[in-house]
Amino acid sequence: MGASNPDLATPSSANPPREEEYSAGLWTLAWRRLRADGVGLISLGVVGAYVLLALLAGLGWVAPHWSAEVGTHYAPPSWMGTSAREPDFATAPQPVWPGSVDLYGLQDPLADLLARIHTEPGASLVLIEAPRRTTLPLGADKWGHDVLAKTIQGGATSLQVGLFSAVLATVLGTLMGALAGYWGGKVDDAFNWLYGVLTAVPYLLLVFAIAAVLHQKGTSTLILILGLTGWTGVFRLMRSEYLKHKSREYVLAAGALGASHWRRMFLHILPNTSHVILVQLSQNVVGFIKSEVILSFLGFGVPVDAVSWGSMLNEAQNELILGKWWQLAAAGVAMAVLVTAFSLLTDALRDALDPRLKS
């Protein structure tokens, strides 16, 4: 609400408000425009639902036990019914009690301990396998994990990576763009040089290089990698915005009134570039979700105790060839819907925030 953009405020003041006693702000106007955009609203709903589901999954309220092996090996989706041809895998044989194994005359330093355990009451040494379901709503993977639960948890990971790395990239890009554009000169040269170097390297190659250097797997590593490589687009746009705005009258006026550089950069100019930031942010979310999938697909992604759509698609490459398509379908559809919705939402946001583009 705080933003006062002279350009954007003009149309609304030409159209006197009826119910409000004051001129509607940037965000109110943007929301009004967005509300009028059916596709944008639906996209917003879809993205909202994903975020909500991801939040619930992250909190452990939905699909907390994705790693439980509830189904049989590649149990098919329920509507397909059980495939009679799938061989029934034998469970592990009951173990031989170590005390009864021939030691060929050798001493076992744990023999006494084993003997005590053997005579302990209540110490159950029988392997008990929980019964497994032969079908699941969206089928099971090779270990018997529920693909539906995996898809939901994978979505949480993918969204987390996408959102956080996009925020990181946007903050970095905005800061550097602001400094470069506002100060110009040597500062600008330095940032441009960094930008030039980073963009000269093919994107995926750069990501691999950083992944190889960090040499550590984990969701936070992934966020760092994507954030540290993904700020360049934001930087370029923000730099040009600051170049444009710094000589505008309202900034000069603020300077004449004694506002510090810091104040001019972040309190005066920044709000007037917020539409660029927001659009870049949502574009980056889409890009980074896809990058996470690619990285995980190539084996640089999430660690083995986490699941993401990328790791699911990575597993699916070998499953598909065996005719087990359900994991690929679940992760692929879930991701396609989110990415499409996010892209449409980005378009709608851009239209809503920057009406000049509408023509």
Partner 1 sequence: MPGMINHLSPLLVFLLIIGGFFTEPSLAGPSHPGDEAQSVPALKVLHLDMSAPETGFDPVLTSDLNTAAIEQQLFESLLTYDYLARPVRLVPRLAAAMPEITQHGRQWLFHLKSGVYFAPDPVFKGVKREVTARDVVFTLMRFMDPKNRSPYRFLLEGKIVGLDELARQAQSTGHFDYDANVAGLQIVDRYTLLVRLKTTDYNFGHAMAQPMMGIVAREVIQAYAGDTASHPVGTGPYRLARWIRSAHIVLARNPNYRHEQWAFKAGADPQDQAIVKAMQGKTIPQIDQVDIQIVEEPQSAWLSFGKGELDVLGLSGQFAPLALDGDHLKPALARQGIQLARMSDPSIAYYFINQQDPVLGGMTPEKIGLRRALLMAQNDTEMIQVMHKGQALRATYPIPPGVAGADPAYVSLLDYNPPLANLLLDRLGYRRGTDGYRRQPDGSPLVVRYTTSLSSQDRELDEMMKKALDRLAIRFASEKLKFPEILKAERQCQIQFRLSAWIADYPDGDNFMQLWYGPHTHENNASCYQDPQWDRLYEKTLDLPDGPARSALYHQLARLLEINGVTKISTTHIRNVLFQPWVVGFKPHPILPSVWSYMDLKPASSGTP
Q: Which residues bind partner 1 (CB under 8 A)?
A: 67, 73, 87, 89-93, 95-96, 98, 101-110, 113-114, 116-117, 120, 123-127, 142-143, 217, 299, 303-305, 314-315, 317-318, 321-322
* Distance, CA of 46 to CA of 66 (rounded, Å): 23
Which is nearer to partner 1, 89 or 262 (by Cβ)?
89
* Minimum separation from the CB atom of position 35 to partner 1 (A): 46
Any idea what the Cα angle at residue 355 is, between residues 349 and 358, rounded to 5°?
A: 90
Q: Which amino acid is at 136?
A: L
* Distance, CA of 225 to CA of 227 (rounded, Å): 6
* Minimum separation from the CB atom of position 97 to partner 1 (A): 8
Scanning the chain, the segments in alpha helix (DSSP H) are 6-14, 26-35, 38-58, 111-119, 147-183, 185-200, 203-214, 219-229, 232-245, 249-256, 261-263, 270-272, 274-297, 309-320, 326-353
Which is nearer to partner 1, 65 or 261 (by Cβ)?
65
* Distance, CA of 81 to CA of 75 (rounded, Å): 9
Which is nearer to partner 1, 100 or 247 (by Cβ)?
100
* Minimum separation from the CB atom of position 92 to partner 1 (A): 4
* Minimum separation from the CB atom of position 317 to partner 1 (A): 6
Which is nearer to partner 1, 216 or 340 (by Cβ)?
216
* Distance, CA of 283 to CA of 339 (rounded, Å): 10
* Distance, CA of 88 to CA of 330 (rounded, Å): 25
Q: What is the DSSP string of 151-197?
A: HHHHHHHHHHHHHHHHHHHHHHHHHHHHHHHHH-HHHHHHHHHHHHH
* Minimum separation from the CB atom of position 26 to partner 1 (A): 47
| C-alpha radius of gyration, the chain, whole number | 28
* Minimum separation from the CB atom of position 293 to partner 1 (A): 15
Which is nearer to partner 1, 63 or 313 (by Cβ)?
313
Which is nearer to partner 1, 265 or 302 (by Cβ)?
302
Which is nearer to partner 1, 114 or 253 (by Cβ)?
114
* Minimum separation from the CB atom of position 249 to partner 1 (A): 57
Question: Tokens 């746009």 label which residue?
Answer: 237
Which is nearer to partner 1, 66 or 231 (by Cβ)?
66
Which is nearer to partner 1, 16 or 93 (by Cβ)?
93
* Minimum separation from the CB atom of position 62 to partner 1 (A): 21
* Minimum separation from the CB atom of position 107 to partner 1 (A): 8
* Distance, CA of 24 to CA of 103 (rounded, Å): 86
Check if the beta carbon of residue 279 is closer than 8 Å to that of residue 195: no
* Distance, CA of 326 to CA of 296 (rounded, Å): 19
